[in-house]
Copies of this chain bind each other. A is one copy, B any other.
Amino acid sequence: MAERGRPKGASGEESRALLLEIAAKEFAQHGYHETKVSSIVKGASLSQPTFYLYFKNKEAIFEELENLFYLRLMEYAKKSRLQPQLESPTVKARIVHNLKELLTFFCKNPNLTRIGFYLSTKANDIKTQIVQQIKGNLDFEVSAGYFRKNLDTQMVAECLIGMIERLTFIQLLPKKKGPEEIANDIVDLLIEGMLDRENNRK
């Protein structure tokens, strides 16, 4: 009741959340500088001063979105780690599963992903962090004999991130492929390589 047009006395938290949402959309779409505070508030049907009621300034709301991306990502990662080997009988299946989880997260948070994984100046730090974690996993699997002993795991992790990033922005977010398909594609390629094992060795 009285929800008509959010007259004046909205919930406050609602306004804040709305601004965050619109801002995420705008930033993702136009980048930091091309996004004006005025367009954010217009999108939220609010006035400019209201913006400053909830955020110190334009930079602050961007940072909050960066952090939001990061926090949710961490949360997702943690959750993934809780229910691990259950449905993953093989190493490959486990890797696919993890990757699928990550991509699913991106898929569910397209704007945040564009912000935190592409626009943000901290994006590289985050990627580096992910790379290190992947490398850790790979090291373990190499030592367990699953992969070639001479594998440069750091390098593989870097490549993996590069692939993920590319496919995320080129296929996943535009909804051309789903998380599972992409995860399978990547892992298959990376594990099996391109060669035809049955026949030639060129």
- By a beta-carbon cutoff of 8 Å, the part of chain A in contact with chain B is 32-34, 90-92, 124, 145-149, 151-152, 155-156, 158-159, 161-167, 170-171, 185-186, 189-197, 199-200, 202
Question: Shortest distance in angstroms between A128's beta carbon and chain B's nearest beta carbon?
Answer: 8
Given contacts A145-B200, A148-B195, A196-B147, contact A166 B162 (CB under 8 A): yes
| Closest partner residue, chain B, to A121 (CB atom) | B31
Q: List 29 A-B contacts (CB under 8 A).
A: A33-B34, A90-B202, A91-B202, A124-B170, A145-B196, A145-B200, A146-B200, A147-B194, A147-B195, A147-B196, A148-B192, A152-B185, A155-B167, A158-B163, A158-B166, A158-B171, A159-B162, A159-B163, A159-B166, A159-B186, A159-B189, A161-B166, A162-B163, A162-B166, A189-B190, A190-B193, A191-B194, A193-B193, A193-B194
